[in-house]
Chains A and B, each alone.
Chain A
Amino acid sequence: MTTLPTRRHLIAATASLLAFGGVALAQDARPAAPATAAAGTRFITVASTTSTVDSGLFNHILPLFRAKTGIEVRVISQGTGQALDTGRRGDADVVFVHARAAEERFVAEGHGGPRRPVMYNDFVLIGPKADPAGIKGSRDIAAALRAIQTKATPFVSRGDRSGTHQAELALWTAAGIDLAATRGSWYREIGQGMGAALNTASGMNGYVLSDRATWLSFRNRGDLDILVEGDRRLFNQYGIMLVNPERHPHVKRADGQAFIDWIVSPEGQKAIADYQINGQQLFFANASDSGA
């Protein structure tokens, strides 16, 4: 207690304590005010998957869409299951995911739609080059999974209800393996995104199912490589849907529909097909295939 403060001192003290914050408030005024942001920029929110974001596809196609329409697309990257839930709650205008059965359920329940097919890529089975399960070069994903299970070599599962996780579970079923009954410590569910699963597999030299796009753009490969590819059951279709504006009146119907119309238009489809990493095409546009 060295000073006898006056009221004036106090005001100065409060001001100095909050000096940083005050600066921040002033800086934050623009981005933090949603009302002004909404008035200033037209934007839609799209709930999509880690594969489309991590692979860099959106960085490639969204500037083209914005240049044409002036609409900013804000993408949230989640697993397919979580992205569909974001749509169900009305927290996104558009859902762009890859798990057809789950998408059709979303539409049937009246949460949005109609579903439009957009593009596909494929899943690949990644594993250590040493290949303890001895499956390298096989085109039979079911036989490869049976070998992994028999030899109990580490397998990393997304375990997060994502499109890739749902595809993985369907493949175990196709291989005639009852995971619930036979899984042991070799089967490692991590409950995280594709990149985290690849990092984990890289760390423990395990097997993992990945979409090809994320694998191609993934940097921390360590000793991993593609071991099984080309099986028809590894096909991975993406679909897009508008969230039901009747259920969620704030959904930006016109701008969301504009994005969907653009992405299935020849121009949007070409933008998708043009996206490459190291000369390899990541996604194959197929909006014209009504059965996809």
Chain B
Amino acid sequence: MDIAQSFAAAFALILGADPAFLAIVRLSLAVTLTAVAVAALIGLPVGALLALSRFPGRGAVIVLVNALMGLPPVVAGLLVFLLLSRSGPLGPLGLLFTPTAMVCAQAILVLPIVIAITRQLVEDLHGEYREHLASLGLTGLRAIPTLLWDGRFALATAILAGFGRASAEVGAVLIVGGNIAGYTRTMTTAIALETSKGDLPLALGLGIVLILLTLGINAVTYAASRVGARFAG
């Protein structure tokens, strides 16, 4: 009964195209995709660097990055909150309770995933093609761009995993965004709010819309990688 109502609510949301609802969807996508882009920009080179460089304590760094994949969103949120609060070190920026703060928190959550998977992948590829790369004159860190390019499809999956983590989390964005109507309310914080108002069908309906969006983004990425693979092949 409730489930049927939820699907009805989801369709009503999609077909109704209510501007407030669309703004929530837009903000959710903008925050999460920006956070994933930031994490990818930093994480891909750092992961590759970590894969190819040798330094004391490297093992500890790898373990730490792998462990941080399990960083609880609420802890990441709290960390960013304390940094950005007016009473915190970055308080003068006035960024708390803004979408920028939400991007920061989510980027922190996604970054370890991108670094860890990139590191593993590049290390494996490098082990396999070291001599081939050397014959092309690509030794040491100069091999990084080639390795990233060759691992691009697997790396896209790593980035999708990061996207999944960010788009699904509510703990961090709730703390640093404040769930302000029309400004920092996302799909997940709206779901939490509707749950607390006891409107469970609407809450689940919003959840269905979120899952459909995630499905769409994954489908587009998959199609793009198929097309890409054909050209590369």
Contacts and interface: CB of A to CB of B under 8 A. Distances in A.
Contacts of B86: 89-91, 248, 250
Interface in B102-126: 103
Contacts of A250: 86, 92, 94
Q: Report, nearest first, the 8 A-B pairs whose CB atoms are least far apart.
A: A21-B37, A195-B196, A24-B33, A220-B198, A90-B86, A76-B178, A28-B30, A219-B198
Given A2-B232, A31-B183, A91 B33 contact: no
Nearest to A18: B37
A45 B2 CA distance: 36
Contacts of A198: 198
Chain A, interface residues (CB within 8 Å), range: 35 or more
Given A1-B129, A1-B150, A90-B91, A20 B36 contact: yes
A217 B198 CA distance: 9
Contacts of B27: 31
Given A20-B217, A77-B179, 4 more contacts: A5-B150, A25-B33, A38-B94, A58-B181
A194 B100 CA distance: 29
Nearest to B133: A1
25 contacts: A1-B129, A1-B132, A5-B145, A10-B149, A13-B152, A17-B159, A21-B38, A24-B32, A24-B36, A24-B37, A25-B37, A28-B103, A31-B27, A34-B100, A45-B178, A50-B196, A89-B85, A89-B87, A91-B85, A91-B86, A91-B87, A91-B97, A195-B196, A196-B196, A199-B196
Contacts of B228: 16
A57 to B, nearest CB: 12
Give the residue among B32, B85, B99 with the most A Cβ atoms within 10 A: B99
B195 interface: yes
A288 to B, nearest CB: 29
Interface of B is mostly: helix
B126 to A, nearest CB: 11
Interface of A is mostly: helix
B76 interface: no
A194 B196 contact: yes
B179 A76 contact: yes
A137 interface: no
Contact of A218 (B148, B197, B217): B197
A248 B92 CA distance: 10
